[in-house]
Amino acid sequence: MNRRQFVAGIAAASLAAPGQPNIEGARLRDHIERLSQYGRPAGGNFADGVSRVAYSDADVAGRAYVRGLMETAGLETRIDAAGNIFGRRPGREDSLPPVLFGSHIDSVPSGGNFDGDLGSLAAIEVVHSLADAGIATRRPLQVVVWQNEEGYAFNNGLAGSRAAAGHLDPGELDAVWNGMKKSEAIRKIGGNPDRIAEARIPKGAFASYLELHIEQGGTLERSGIDIGIVEGIVAIDRYDVEIRGFANHAGTTPMPERQDALVAASQLVIAVNDIVRAEPGRQVGTVGQLNVSPNAPNIVPGGVKLVIELRDLSAAKISALAGRIQARAREIAAQTRTTIEIRPAAHHDAALATPEIQRSIEASCDKLGFTHQRLPSGAGHDAQAMALLGPMGMIFVPSVGGISHSPKELTSWQDCARGAQVLLHTVLAQAG
């Protein structure tokens, strides 16, 4: 079976026992496919992926489509000052803090159709399913679609959820990207940057936060497991590195006399890989960006700027790894007669999932007969911002081939429906 046939497979329409609330897999699939039209390459189809970068015209159109779905499902919608879309369903005891659940719909350039989209549209499908079954929950429910989770725009992710958590960086609204100020970008999607503080959610304002997401890795598929229960979202430390050598003529500068910044950078890239691999565990280290100066074929490189990123559930572990990288950088600088400056650029704390919610997700899986395992999230998610405010849990479904941030990103429709069904039953358990 080829990939196009796989994508065209029949959605699982029913995964619930008779008399139980039931995710309508065909409806969920239809909504995901329709959303994919916003940001699709010209002349392309679903398999060609999507470029729905935050604040783009495609993002604005996609948000309007999703807000319409929320209202059709019976949700009372609003856009907060940060540009996040909220939809509320009353509960029998409507003054209680709600169960909050959702995800995002912005993408990276040339991304896929499941990252964020599944969690957002499955959240809406949960509300549809409850309405279909005539079920009223004790607590109110609140669906959210966060803005700019990916952070491709303005190079700073989790923008909407960080605003809700009160964790915007100083001066962040004044940042400029592609000629657009961030405050104006928020205004473009219906927010009000002049009243951004009103987007902040107080601690205790929600009973729990749930997010369904594709794994974006290959652990579940390799293991043949239906559902992943997230133990926590990794801490991320990012460092800006500047290496200064001396630019000189490539033909007339003898090898022993060179101060080649790119040679030093190359050794540092290998050092990051070696140091991170040498430590037992699931930590990762990446150098994914280099800028070489003057970047000419006949000039010895005089300068290199690069970014080192380290991730693990343990902030202490990646801090220790950074220390070893710093020490090795000093040795490389001495050997290559360059200077290497490593500066902290960004830090995101690890966010551990709430044990009670992990158990609730496990109970939902057991009730539905789905296999499950616990695992960490190596990618960042809006859930880590919400973990600062209240109990948090995440549900993963398999990613085919472990591929994400690519048009080839794929999760079977059966797995989409399974994940939505687990979300539905977990929401019911949390909302009463």
Q: Average pLDDT, stretch 94-114?
A: 98
Q: Which of 142-146, 181-185, 311-315, 334-338 has the lowest mean pLDDT?
A: 311-315
- For residue 46, what pLDDT is reported? 98
In this prediction, residue 275 carries a pLDDT of 98
Q: State the pLDDT at residue 346.
A: 79
Q: What are the angstrom distances between the C-alpha of 124 and each of 55, 70, 327? A: 22, 6, 50
More confident residue, 405 or 9: 405
> Average pLDDT for residues 68-82, to the nearest whole number?
98
User: Pick the residue with more confidence: 308 or 11?
Assistant: 308
pLDDT digits over 52-69, tens only? 999 999 999 999 999 999
Which residue is listed with tokens 């950088």?
A: 329
Q: Is the pLDDT of residue 13 over 50?
A: no
Q: What is the pLDDT of residue 156?
A: 86
- pTM to 2 decimal places: 0.85
Q: Rounded to whole angstroms, how far apart are CA atoms 208 and 357?
A: 8
Q: Given this model, what pLDDT does residue 19 score?
A: 52
For the stretch 320-377, pLDDT in tens is 999 999 999 999 999 999 999 999 987 888 999 999 999 999 999 999 999 999 999 9
